[in-house]
Structure 1
Amino acid sequence: MYKLIAIDIDDTLINDDKEVTPATQQALEAAVAAGVVVTLATGRAYASAQAIARQTGLNVPIITYQGALVKNLLDEKVLYERYVPQDAVRKLFEYCIEHNLHLQTYIDDKLYSREENQKLIDYAALNKTQYYIEPDWKKLLDYQTPKLLIIDDPDFLDELAPKLHELLGEEVHITKSKPHFLEIMHKEGTKGLALEFLADYFNCDLSQTIAVGDSWNDHEMLETAGLGVAMANAIPALKEIANYVTASNNEDGVKQVIDKFILQTI
Structure 2
Amino acid sequence: MYKLIAIDIDDTLINDQKEVTPATQQALEAAVAKGVVVTLATGRAYASAHKIARQTGLNVPIITYQGALVKNLLDEKVLYERYVPLVAARRLYEFCLERNLHLQTYIDDKLYTREDNQKIKDYTALNNTEYFVEPVFSKVIEQPTPKLLIIDEPEVLDELIPELRELLGSEVHITKSKPHFLEIMHHEGTKGHALAFLANHFGCDLSETIAIGDSWNDHEMLECAGLGIAMGNAIPDLKKLADYITTSNNEDGVKHAIDKFVLNV
TM-score (ref. length: structure 1): 0.99
What corresponds to 1:253 in structure 2?
A: 253
Query: Are residues 1:44 and 2:55 paired?
Result: no
1:221 aligned counterpart, secondary structure: helix
Separation in 1 of the partners of 2:186 and 2:164?
Answer: 13
Q: Give 1:128 shift.
A: 1.1
Tell me, yes or no, if the aligned pair for 2:93 and 2:141 is still in contact at 8 Å. no
* Letter of the 1:227 counterpart: L
Instruction: State the SS of the aligned residue for 1:184.
Output: strand
1:31-180 aligned within 5 A: 31-180=31-180
**SS of match in other structure, 2:167:** helix
CA distance in 2, matches of 1:125, 1:240: 31
Aligned residue number for residue 197 of structure 1: 197
Over the residues paired in the alignment, what is the CA RMSD in angstroms?
A: 0.5
CA contact (8 A) 2:2 2:209 kept: yes
2:262 and 2:235 map into 1 onto residues whose CA distance is 25
How far, CA to CA, are the matches of 1:127 and 1:150 in structure 2? 17
SS of the counterpart of 1:42? coil
Q: How many residue pairs get matched?
A: 265
**What's 1:11 paired with?**
11
SS of residue in 1 equivalent to 2:132: strand
The offset of 1:143, in angstroms, is 1.1
Cα shift readout 1:237-265 (whole Å, capped 9, x = no counterpart): 00000000000000000000110000001
Q: Contact conserved, 2:84 with 2:185, CA < 8 A, in 1?
A: yes
- 1:137 Cα deviation from its structure 2 partner: 1.1
Cα distance in 2 for residues equivalent to 1:4 and 1:140: 36
The 1-side partners of 2:152 and 2:225 are apart by 31
Q: For residues 16 and 44 of structure 2, what CA distance do their matches in structure 1 show?
A: 16
2:52 partner letter: I
Q: How does 1:230-249 map to 2 (within 5 A)?
A: 230-249=230-249
SS in 1 for 2:84: coil
Q: For structure 1, which runs of at least 5 residues remain unmatched after alignment?
A: none
* Secondary structure at 2:35 match in 1: coil
Moved over 6 A (4+): none
> In structure 1, how many angstroms separate the alpha carbons of the residues matched to 2:171 and 2:142?
19
Deviation at residue 141 of structure 1 after TM alignment: 2.7
TM-score in terms of structure 2 length = 0.99
Q: Deviations over 1:146-174 (max 9, x none)?
A: 00000000011011011001011110000
Distance 1:141 1:226 in 2: 37
Determine if the alignment matches structure 1 residue 215 to structure 2 residue 212: no
